[in-house]
Chains A and B, each alone.
Chain A
């Protein structure tokens, strides 16, 4: 998933729908030792692939959280409003977290206390059954799951949910299933125009033989369907109450909560959805009576407020907020406060994209890659607890990641190899060359820009910084014909497979305005390999192949310089219980929190 607006802007970070990262133990360090943050090995050591749950695992109610008690209203501070409320449009993680409370899909991710994920049936009785290795998937719906209006969800609603993803007003949601069913890239939109034109997807693709059964039929094996269906983007939109474009303002809830009051850009109040039956839900708890979400509080504000732990802040959790860089020392030095924190390794890799249409000389790209002051750059975005130097373009949380693969000597020279870079610049004859560097407008991005500019100057280039408003940063650099040479973007897996990283970011056939191939890499070998590897059904073989492709991309093409992997460090009020890092959303698990008093 792309990181739409940067985390440091505390804006929406894109959804991690699944992540095989499992952590040794979340909770927190003592604050005494030098660096207690999560390390690569924490993420990599447990890159266990996701389990598929059977009918038993999919049966509710969810296993109770020890010590949890019901009641109270949870306070949430967030920097910005949610980018979308229509589940079909949700691909970013703040809305993704909200989605876990409001919506339900055919499947969902259940986590154990170690963070290991199991895909279980949510509305379906299990995570899906296939008899032909993943070409055909069959789902049976549970009995009596109702939406907030009391309507019982049937297979027509599931069909509608998939079909509406083809409609033109759905612009931001995931497109995996549409592409698998009807064609890659954006060609699926040509194959079928969506239900508002009156037609349905043919039975040869999506079949709903009765009210309880849904069958997906793919041309090729798609073993990842259960994971894809667990994305909030594919959560159910009941057909009768779908208001299309307006749905993004007032969606119909299936989950434990519904929206009681929403003031865009200001606040949102969630109350319990009386039609949600815990017996049908294997994953969610609903201990608190509601959530009171307030926007316009930046990380610094959130951290200070929650750390001070007074009044309603005692009941507060962060959604996508982070302990701010400036408050880190204070939080770490406060052992009582540290007990209220959670940490986790997020799957995002921040990379400095080269616009290959403009920066054509690979030597120059290599030079810039070597020069990256990766260590300083990530520290400007959350200090030691905000990230870690990235060795290559895959995250340690992604199967196929090889820690030893370190083409730019990040391990030995975390702050860049200026001498080597300088030599490369001279070899390329690019001394004094203008390099247009686009960066976001928030404080952290500005500071990172200063650091990178400094390094580029040192190696003899003439960096031209262009500040782009963070609100529209990804739209601007997402244009194919943009005027920038380099820009820092972040991407993380949608579930634990490099197939949710390499194809969206490095597939040359996907280049178009707004696509996440920000480098515009269009390499024949890479394109062919992507097609080949996507057909490999064995996860281990696939992971190995993706890992090899990753090496090829960096060493032979170098479309982007790896800079840092991001980490998550959040704090909650003292009255909040059940705190746990969710590997699914990569933030606090909001489905299990409760208030102690």
Chain B
């Protein structure tokens, strides 16, 4: 509902500034490197960035290879091990062994009450959370970029109406909307006598997150596009008779890579936390699906009784989110060395 703010001058209220497009061609002449190469060189020099990138990659690899790891390890996240072997539990249905039942068989212990294996729960849970969040973030970024560019480049009526739609969705109390709409979506798509398949749940979660998640980026992209539109190189392309599509693709998009990447890396961890939020309020994944966020929430409830159960998901979550944020910073610095660290 914010009306476009008129700002004199070319300064836009943008957090991350676009790289100076003029600088790139100049350097090209001297060194023969593309901005991408430059960015890569700068990134490689940033130790923290490289380490966090490695950590992030590690997490994604673990998530992707979860079934494989589980196979080698010989357990799965669904079997209720304590059901088959009651000695694993004490009379309160907590792990009988010390440290949450950590043993050679159960590396990270077993889950209280249900007796599932924590290690496989965690890697499968990471898989669930990361995939859901990654896809949702991709959707948001695509939509945000599309709407931002179209609005910013076309201007006029199109921009006005896209802006109004953005405002409209921004005014939605998003979390409230998630809670209210999730049951509706699942009842519409699932036959009454069938369990809600996990993929439907996942789609619904991604859908609602996407629906109210792209507006921030769209605004940002629109603002940057607005300022780029007036630049000489775009004018030149126009005069040369390039089609709008070509201008967007060849002139605008390359200059938008920085804000998109930077915002994207910030959006992913927050989306992971949003997925966890949905589980917490009871409309996300249910107890059958291993879910990182739910492990985290359960862990904090029983941290006095079984601190181990909170430890592994908790540490993994902190490490991942920190690494991803650091990576975001490094990417930004690499693209735009002017921004101080």
Instruction: Please say whether the chains A and B touch (CB closer than 8 A).
Output: yes
Interface residues of A (CB under 8 A from B): 34-35, 300, 325-330, 373, 376, 379-380, 383-384, 415, 434, 436, 441, 443, 446-447, 449-451, 453-455, 463-467, 469, 483-484
Contact present for B91 and A467 (CB under 8 Å)? no
Q: Which of A329, A441, A464 contacts B195 (CB 8 A)?
A: A464
Contact present for B80 and A451 (CB under 8 Å)? yes
Q: Which of the 9-residue segments B118-126, B137-145, B264-272, B299-307 touches chain A?
A: B299-307
Contact present for A329 and B193 (CB under 8 Å)? no
Contact present for A383 and B93 (CB under 8 Å)? yes
CB-CB under 8 A from A441, the residues of chain B are 282
Q: Which of B113, B196, B302 contacts A380 (CB 8 A)?
A: B113
CB-CB under 8 A from B94, the residues of chain A are 329
Write the nearest CB–CB distance from B220 to chain A, whole angstroms.
38
Contact present for A464 and B92 (CB under 8 Å)? no
CB-CB under 8 A from A328, the residues of chain B are 92
Q: Give the secondary structure class of B's interface.
A: loop
Q: Contacts A325-B93, A329-B92, A384-B91; is A447 near B193 (CB within 8 Å)?
A: no
Contact present for A436 and B80 (CB under 8 Å)? no
Q: How many A-B residue pairs have CB under 8 A?
A: 79
| Other A-B pairs, 6, CB within 8 Å; known A35-B91, A383-B91, A434-B193 | A325-B113, A380-B114, A446-B287, A464-B194, A469-B183, A484-B193
CA distance in complex: A373, B83 (Å)? 8
Contact present for A415 and B287 (CB under 8 Å)? no
CB-CB under 8 A from A327, the residues of chain B are 305
Contact present for A34 and B91 (CB under 8 Å)? yes
CB-CB under 8 A from A376, the residues of chain B are 80, 82-83, 93
CA distance in complex: A326, B305 (Å)? 7
Write the nearest CB–CB distance from A257 to chain B, whole angstroms.
34
Q: Contacts A376-B83, A454-B83; is A449 near B287 (CB within 8 Å)?
A: yes
Write the nearest CB–CB distance from B118 to chain A, whole angstroms.
15
Q: Closest chain B residue to A470 by CB distance?
A: B282
CB-CB under 8 A from B92, the residues of chain A are 325, 328-329, 379, 383-384
Q: Contacts A449-B287, A465-B288; is A380 near B194 (CB within 8 Å)?
A: no
Write the nearest CB–CB distance from B278 to chain A, whole angstroms.
13
Contact present for B193 and A380 (CB under 8 Å)? no
CB-CB under 8 A from B288, the residues of chain A are 449-450, 453, 465
Confirm or deny: B241 has a beta carbon within 8 angstroms of a beta carbon on chain A. Answer: no
Contact present for B91 and A447 (CB under 8 Å)? no
Confirm or deny: B156 has a beta carbon within 8 angstroms of a beta carbon on chain A. Answer: no
Contact present for A379 and B286 (CB under 8 Å)? no
B79, B83, B86, B288: residue with the most chain A Cβ atoms closer than 10 Å: B83
Contact present for B113 and A447 (CB under 8 Å)? yes
Contact present for A464 and B193 (CB under 8 Å)? yes
Q: Closest chain A residue to B115 by CB distance?
A: A376
CA distance in complex: A209, B128 (Å)? 73
Confirm or deny: B9 has a beta carbon within 8 angstroms of a beta carbon on chain A. Answer: no
Q: Contacts A383-B91, A467-B286; is A330 near B183 (CB within 8 Å)?
A: no
B86, B91, B94, B113: residue with the most chain A Cβ atoms closer than 10 Å: B113
Question: Which 3 A/B pairs are nearest by Cβ-Cβ distance?
Answer: A446-B287, A483-B192, A464-B195
CB-CB under 8 A from A447, the residues of chain B are 113-114, 287
Q: Contacts A446-B286, A453-B288; is A415 near B305 (CB within 8 Å)?
A: no
CA distance in complex: A537, B112 (Å)? 50
CA distance in complex: A326, B95 (Å)? 12
Q: Closest chain B residue to A485 by CB distance?
A: B193
- Per the 8 Å Cβ criterion, residues 40-72 of B in contact with A are none
